[in-house]
Amino acid sequence: MFKKIFFSIAFLLILNSCSVHEKNFSQNDWYAFTKASKQRIKPSEVYEFTDDGTIRMHGDNIGYLMTNKSYTNFELHLDFRWNIEEKYNKNNTKKNSGVMYNIPTNFPDNIWPKGIQFQIKENTTGDFIFLDNITAVVNGKLVEAGASVTSPKFTANENPYGEWNTILIRSFNGKIVQFLNGKLVNECSDVSSTEGKISLNYEGSPIDFRNIKLKSISKEEK
């Protein structure tokens, strides 16, 4: 009897550990912030959340969805696609968006916050954007601090407009790798911001996100 109780408790502890270390994001995990409002807003009042779990960002409310919590040593997975529906695309400007992470919790909301961005942009998806004096070492060289500093992707791997793309970002103890559709497109080390919030940016180009998942990691993966 004692052994059965022991193994039952151990099994429950394992299940609990898995639930803590792997997270699927829901609407309750975000708040919205826009350039016009200057205050935090309920996400569904700004962007569209569909029944199948897709987040659709379109309209005039340039801004972002920001996580309520901060994360460190993680692997972030998500899918994105450009929304090419004619009713949402009123101009022919270059498509632009991004996923930000390691956004320090002690910095206020603004457009755009301090942190690191996985650039999602026509012809440059996969670039690092280091915002508000974030620094890192790329290809053995220290990135000079600045308001917005770009470190170009190593290779292109974005799918055609309208098709889904998969992003994977792994951040562990100051080392970061960025994958696009299964291919390594950028990496850096010695990052000056190693933990923080995560945001999905809407910069005026209609875009959809889905399958947003985060896994805590305890060791560097090769």
Residue range(s) defining the domain that contains residue 153: 25-216
Compute the CA torsion angle 148, 190, 128, 69 (nearest 10 deg).
Answer: -90
DSSP letters for 86-120:
GGG--S-PPPEEEEEEEE-TTS---SS-SEEEEEE
Give pTM, 2 decimals: 0.88
In a domain, 62, yes or no: yes
CATH number at residue 184: 2.60.120.560
Confidence band for 219, pLDDT divided at 50, 70 and 90: confident
Report the alpha-carbon distance of residue 2 to residue 154 in Å, rounded. Answer: 57
Are 97 and 202 in contact by the 8 Å Cβ rule? The answer is yes
> Count of domains in the chain?
1
Peptide bond into 112 cis (omega under 30): yes
pLDDT, tens digit, 9 for 90 and up, residues 75-97: 999 999 999 888 888 776 789 99
| Confidence (pLDDT) at 222 | 54
In a domain, 81, yes or no: yes
Mean pLDDT confidence for 165-172 = 98
| Confidence (pLDDT) at 221 | 63
In a domain, 178, yes or no: yes
Amino acid at 198: I
In a domain, 74, yes or no: yes
Does residue 3 register a pLDDT over 70?
no
- Which tokens belong to 106? 């002690």
Above pLDDT 70, what percent of the chain? Answer: 89
Residues 6+ apart with CB under 8 A from 177: 169, 170, 184, 186, 187
Confidence band for 14, pLDDT divided at 50, 70 and 90: very low
- Residue 173: left (phi > 0), alpha (psi -120 to 50), or beta? left
Report the alpha-carbon distance of residue 130 to residue 117 in Å, rounded. Answer: 7
Does residue 7 register a pLDDT over 80?
no
Report the alpha-carbon distance of residue 187 to residue 4 in Å, rounded. Answer: 47
Mean pLDDT confidence for 126-148 = 96
Q: How far is CA 139 from CA 45, 111, 128, 172, 204, in A?
A: 42, 29, 13, 18, 32
Closest CA to 98 of 134, 70, 132, 122: 122
In a domain, 190, yes or no: yes
Confidence band for 6, pLDDT divided at 50, 70 and 90: very low
In a domain, 3, yes or no: no
In a domain, 6, yes or no: no
In a domain, 16, yes or no: no
51 DSSP assignment:
T
